[in-house]
Amino acid sequence: MSRSIAARLLDWYDAGHRDLPWRRSPDPYRIWISEVMLQQTRAEAVIPYYERFLQRFPDAAALARAPLDDVLACWAGLGYYSRARNLHKTARLVAAGFPRSYIGLRQLAGIGDYTAAAIASIAFGLPHAVLDGNVMRVVARVTNDAADIASGRTRSRFRAIAQGWLDRRRAGAFNQALMELGATVCLPRAPRCLICPIHSLCQAAQAGRAAELPIKLRQLKPVELAETLLVIARGQRLLMWQRPADSQRLAGFWELPSPRQLPGLRSGTAIGTFRHTITHHHYRITVHRGMVRGAVRPLRWIPIAALNELPLSTTARKALQLALVTV
């Protein structure tokens, strides 16, 4: 069965797949950047960030030389900013060349099992199967396995199954084919079983329960939160504050103030609201014009023309867009 899965997937992939920019080169740097960006983010959303990032930092040496603030500013909007910090940190270690083994890759900051397997197989042709959300979904359905995929034991078993399917002669192409299947055919809520190249080998499809799998039992309950942000202008400057370097979230990023930060901050005309989600936290953010009286420390007046050069949080960007401030 494993040979049949590999052969069918590779034939399907060779016949036509998405022309994604990171698939045009076996350069481990480009593959590394793309795989890190693709964590928790759809390919369509990643493409403009990927192209802009490579234009600014064309190789690991350029990334290593750049100030962290420049890297964060280029990353702004993708979220999960620890990824950008790990890229910057790791670039200094790989500027002279990437480790050419799975174990060597795995030891680098920000490179886990999945990313190490992706780089090892796609850049170097090494026989390591990837296991991401798309692949877990395919494995769960092909094997008709209703185990909780949040379990580490289930992940280990699914990784072994994917490794057993792997075509060792074309490891990189096989991994990309398996991920492509999960991203375009074996979809989470509406699997396109009738056009799936391995439909006849899929036990869940034959049982009529493909859409029920995979199972994830450990769901976090959504938390609804409200926040207010102020857009306070003085001429061509905006009042903002920077998160400290030791902040647990968004360290070094610039934010708009909220009324609770200083007694002298006052809300004015309402501009609008927007939604913002971080994992299971759902924020309803209201944006107001603001006023200020007295001292503003530790807040700072930032020239609007300089905002493009700063790492701005996503909420700050959304609020400024509502206020028609061009960033």
Alpha helix (H) ranges present in 57-151? 60-65, 68-75, 82-94, 102-106, 113-124, 133-142
CB atoms within 10 A of CB 318: 20
Name, in order, each residue with C-beta under 8 angstroms of 27's C-beta and a sequence gap of 6 or more.
123
Q: State the Cα–Cα distance between residues 86 and 266, nearest whole angstrom.
A: 38
Which residues sit opposite 234 in a β-bridge? 237
In b/e form, how buried is each residue of 89-113, taking b as 16+ CB within 10 angstroms? Answer: ebbeebbeebbeebeebbebebbeb
CA triple 297-70-281, angle to 5 deg: 70
Name, in order, each residue with C-beta under 8 angstroms of 24's C-beta and a sequence gap of 6 or more.
none
Q: Is 35 labeled as catalytic in the residue annotation?
A: yes
Tell me which residue of 269, 274, 280, 255 sits closest to 322, measured CA to CA. Answer: 274
Q: Which of 35, 51, 180, 309 is catalytic?
A: 35
Catalytic residues: 35
